[in-house]
Structure 1
């Protein structure tokens, strides 16, 4: 299985470091030189291309982009058709709050923009810095997964485990309306309350 990571900000690079050498990876980037340099630092053979070429040769496409850019790419990249699309965005506006929520979600809007794709929400409650922790420290950290296509959800849940996390399937894509506010709460705790970016939400079973 080949994974395209579109965008090499902190989230894209963090996920790439966790997956490198474990699965085939293609970087989709605007800055080819930077992407090629980063690829050379990781184990395994990593291909580099523009967003369209990376999507074309991959089975799973990770949107490691800001929400507005991810939505625009979903509208315009016809190579998304038939592919599993992992939406890890939190739709934050200029005021630092959710741009959409409660009656829709970033994931659902991306699905509308790419109706022939299989969009799955995942990784939006993980800070980029958590990827730098040893996998042994994150084995119990849940990646919440939501999507309408059962097989696509299974693939993304397995991808989360390959990346060194636990997976928690929470339902269909509309459950992203819950996951995105949860991501915002994590951001609030990390930055607004000062807990830092080494945190992640999880549920405990009592009794």
Structure 2
């Protein structure tokens, strides 16, 4: 069974953990290990709580459910060589008004550069955490857009996405994250700035010929 380590337990990390618990060998880690232990006790049996280094060492897939700057620090300072790394981040400005950068690089590419022997895949950055609390049947058709250079890593994350109750839309190499991160920012603007709420997600519709 694939071992998945979720690093960081904000709303996204907790939401994904709830969807995966009992379906995968799940390891959780956060700076507040006491709070992680309390949260893990609410999940099905078999969830392990470890410190960050041990969680990463144990995992086949490392999910960075962290703010971008913290995720970059993890990528630069932890042993991620050979690991599939799922980057959920959006590099948002402190006031949430826009992205720190875009179109000529991306958070995913910067994480890949910081951990060159890791296999980084962008995903879940266009999904609000509240969707994890919906019944899985309601989210089964909502796409999680994936971008990455390693096809085996893409396949592993595709399995994770489907296991968590979402659909997959592949977008190509990791440079496609330059498009996915602005799409995530558009979703944030629609949800918060324009009052659509967080029970929304982008998707593409294909019309019949």
In the TM superposition, what are the counterparts of 1:17-56 in structure 2 within 5 Å? 17-56=18-57
Task: Tell whether the 8 Å contact from 1:158 to 1:167 is kept in structure 2 after alignment.
Answer: no
In the TM superposition, what are the counterparts of 1:1-207 in structure 2 within 5 Å? 1-78=2-79, 80-96=80-96, 97-207=98-208
Shift of 1:44: 3.0
**Separation (CA, whole Å) in 1 of partners of 2:94 and 2:63:** 24
Deviates more, 1:84-93 or 1:24-33: 24-33
Task: Tell whether the 8 Å contact from 1:144 to 1:170 is kept in structure 2 after alignment.
Answer: yes
**Separation (CA, whole Å) in 1 of partners of 2:48 and 2:73:** 23
Question: What SS does structure 1 have at the residue aligned with 2:124?
Answer: coil
Matched residues, number = 206
Task: Tell whether the 8 Å contact from 1:2 to 1:24 is kept in structure 2 after alignment.
Answer: yes
Shift of 1:54: 0.5
Task: Tell whether the 8 Å contact from 1:9 to 1:64 is kept in structure 2 after alignment.
Answer: yes
Task: Tell whether the 8 Å contact from 1:6 to 1:51 is kept in structure 2 after alignment.
Answer: yes
**Separation (CA, whole Å) in 2 of partners of 1:101 and 1:158:** 28
Deviates more, 1:145-154 or 1:43-52: 43-52
**Separation (CA, whole Å) in 2 of partners of 1:38 and 1:77:** 24
**Separation (CA, whole Å) in 1 of partners of 2:172 and 2:100:** 22
Runs of at least 5 residues in structure 2 that lack an aligned partner in the other structure: none
Give structure 1 regions of 4+ aligned residues with deviation exceeding 2 angstroms: none
Shift of 1:205: 1.1
**Separation (CA, whole Å) in 1 of partners of 2:105 and 2:31:** 30
Task: Tell whether the 8 Å contact from 1:35 to 1:48 is kept in structure 2 after alignment.
Answer: yes
Output one character per residue of 1:86-114: Cα deviation in whole Å (capped at 9) or x when no partner: 00000001242111210000000000000
TM-score normalised to structure 2 length? 0.97
RMSD: 0.7
Task: Pick closer, same or farther for the CA change 1:29–1:95 going to 2, 3 Å.
Answer: closer
Shift of 1:49: 1.3
